[in-house]
């Protein structure tokens, strides 16, 4: 590619960007570069635009011209891109009667090496608010006021939020992979491509299953605890007065054998009796002023007086 051609493309590629949103009566000339337009649409209708311009660098003049372009990108070409896109956004806002803004403009240029050669790559990006109409569905396309035109080898990619279902799309994309993809040479009618996306429904069924499992588990646990408490209460109430007195003697003996103090949980473990039965015996011993109950954290220390 001649250096003169590359210098000319400095402004042609911006014109091609503008062709994306303005109706044309004649096709653009064939070019020695490729442009990929990626539009990432969010749930609120905001779109993040990324425009990648790629050209093959072969001669020293190509590299020199691309370097000169890079040096002027921030001061000249990014501003041109900003003006063109703001004009397109204003036109779309007036046509759709939907408030729109363009902001967060950015641009960079790098040289990339690939198996097919070395390329100069320029990237522009910006944020377009209310690009799509977000209501019960997500409607994309009305912002393309005059339709679109893709030159040969150029690509349009429209990405949408995960979980959304494509209800309608016209025309059909050439490929669906990480979004819908159309390849040039191609002309779109006004308001195209048109895409209607339905919002993901709330997963009520899985949630109901989870709630049911939790509720069932809680019910079983409560029944189990109540049954255990009832069993312990029944055991405590069914013990005879003679057996209760014998248990009190056994507790006193245990305390004497262990230096005069034992934790209540240890008494339950040693005698293998329900907690309520041991608790009743300890209450009797405490009422008879034979023991003291001393709170130690979550446990009771039983001490012989």
164 and 23 both lie in a single domain: yes
128 and 113 both lie in a single domain: yes
Residue 222 phi/psi, 5-degree rounding, is: -65, -40
Q: How many CB atoms lie within 10 A of CB 13?
A: 21
Handedness of CA 70, 71, 76, 82 (dihedral sign): positive
185 and 216 both lie in a single domain: no
108 and 248 both lie in a single domain: no
124 and 193 both lie in a single domain: yes
159 and 208 both lie in a single domain: no
Structure tokens at 176: 């669906």
Q: What is the CATH number of the domain that holds 265?
A: 1.10.10.10
Query: How many domains are contained in the chain?
Result: 2
- End-of-domain residue from the set 156, 183, 198: 198
Q: Which residues pair with 57 in a beta bridge?
A: 118
147 and 67 both lie in a single domain: yes
86 and 190 both lie in a single domain: yes
Residue 266: which domain range?
A: 204-304
CA distance 6 to 67: 11
124 and 244 both lie in a single domain: no
Q: How many CB atoms lie within 10 A of CB 47?
A: 22
CA 53 to each of CA 23, 125, 202: distance values in angstroms, whole numbers, following the listed order = 21, 11, 40
Helical residues (DSSP H) of the chain, grouped into ranges = 3-19, 60-72, 78-96, 204-238, 241-257, 264-271, 275-287
Exposed, middle or buried, 9 (CB in 10 Å: 0-12/13-18/19+)? Answer: buried
- End-of-domain residue from the set 165, 198, 231: 198
Task: Identify the pLDDT of residue 149.
Answer: 85
Among residues 25, 43, 21, which one has the least CA distance to residue 95?
21
pLDDT per position in the chain (305 positions), as tens? 444 444 444 444 444 454 454 444 444 444 567 899 999 999 999 999 999 989 899 999 999 999 999 999 999 999 999 998 999 899 999 999 999 999 999 999 999 998 889 999 999 999 999 999 998 899 999 999 888 888 888 999 999 999 999 999 999 999 998 899 999 888 999 899 999 999 876 555 555 566 667 767 766 767 676 666 555 554 545 677 788 888 888 989 988 888 889 998 999 998 888 988 898 899 989 898 999 988 888 888 999 88
Task: Identify the pLDDT of residue 244.
Answer: 83
119 and 193 both lie in a single domain: yes
In 115-154, the DSSP E strands lie at 117-129, 133-134, 137-140, 149-150
23 and 132 both lie in a single domain: yes
121 and 182 both lie in a single domain: yes
């Amino acid at each position: 590619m001649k250096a003169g051609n590359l210098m000319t493309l400095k402004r042609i590629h911006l014109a091609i960007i503008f062709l994306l949103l303005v109706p044309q009566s004649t096709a653009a000339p064939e070019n020695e570069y490729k442009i990929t337009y990626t539009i990432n649409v969010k749930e609120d209708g905001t779109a993040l635009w990324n425009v990648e311009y790629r050209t093959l660098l072969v001669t020293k003049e190509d590299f020199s011209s691309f370097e000169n372009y890079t040096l002027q990108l921030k001061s000249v070409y990014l501003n041109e891109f900003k003006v063109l896109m703001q004009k397109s956004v204003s036109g779309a806002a007036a046509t759709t009667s939907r408030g729109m803004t363009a902001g967060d403009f950015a641009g960079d240029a790098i040289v990339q090496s690939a198996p097919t050669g070395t390329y100069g790559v320029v990237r522009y990006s910006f944020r377009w608010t209310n690009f799509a109409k977000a209501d019960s569905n997500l409607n994309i396309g009305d912002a393309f006021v005059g339709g679109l035109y893709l030159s040969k080898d150029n690509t349009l990619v429209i990405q949408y939020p995960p979980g959304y279902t494509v209800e309608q799309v016209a025309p059909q994309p050439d490929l669906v992979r990480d979004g819908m993809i159309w390849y040039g040479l191609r002309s779109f009618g006004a308001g195209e491509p048109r895409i209607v996306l339905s919002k993901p429904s709330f997963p009520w069924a899985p949630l109901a299953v989870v709630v049911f499992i939790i509720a069932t588990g809680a019910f079983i646990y409560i029944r189990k605890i109540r049954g255990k408490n009832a069993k312990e209460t029944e055991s405590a109430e069914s013990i005879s007065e003679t057996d209760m007195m014998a248990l009190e003697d056994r507790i006193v003996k245990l305390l004497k054998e262990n230096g005069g103090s034992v934790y209540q949980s240890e008494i339950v473990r040693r005698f293998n009796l329900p907690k309520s039965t041991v608790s009743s015996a300890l209450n009797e011993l405490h009422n008879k002023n034979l023991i003291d109950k001393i709170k130690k954290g979550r446990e009771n220390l039983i001490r012989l007086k």
